[in-house]
Amino acid sequence: MIRLAILASGGGSNADAILRYFSGHPQIQIVLIACNREAAIVYQVAEYHCVESIQLSRERFQAGDGYLPVFQDKQVSGLILAGFLWKIPSVLIEAFPDRILNIHPALLPKFGGQGMYGLRVHEAVLAAHETESGITIHRVDEHYDNGDVVFQAHCPVNPHDTPNSLAQRVLQLEHQHYPPTIENYFTQQTNSELTLN
């Protein structure tokens, strides 16, 4: 069984989509949700799906052990970022090489980097008069929105779009594509390791 943890910061709609997709899955199980905000709705999502959740402290996560002992205790084999806004510390990147995925609400390498999240991304897309936007699912490394691209999906930017209307269209892509991309990525990794062994 591939055991994954979700790192989230807010409403938890992507976490909910992922948990629904993997409910009863024969190979992949979501065993933990970790959040960096005290009052985030994602805790309710975790409770609804009967998945354990924890709150992260910035000091321990970024300057301490990165909660690695917690992930190890849960036998986590990979991390999924779902609207998680903190930079991932090197201790976790080293512990989970090529096993941390993130989703970004734009077509990287455009409109990425520190501070580019939420409506800020869609405002930047509209300000640049782009004709399309979309999502990028990528591996996580030491830099914001920098790791190798695993998957992208596109959607049009309409002439009368607002940041909110574009955000809704992009969010639909996230819910549609993130769970199956996670599934394909981690099952292929596992099958490759079994072949090598």
**Active site members:** 104
Rg (CA), the chain: 16
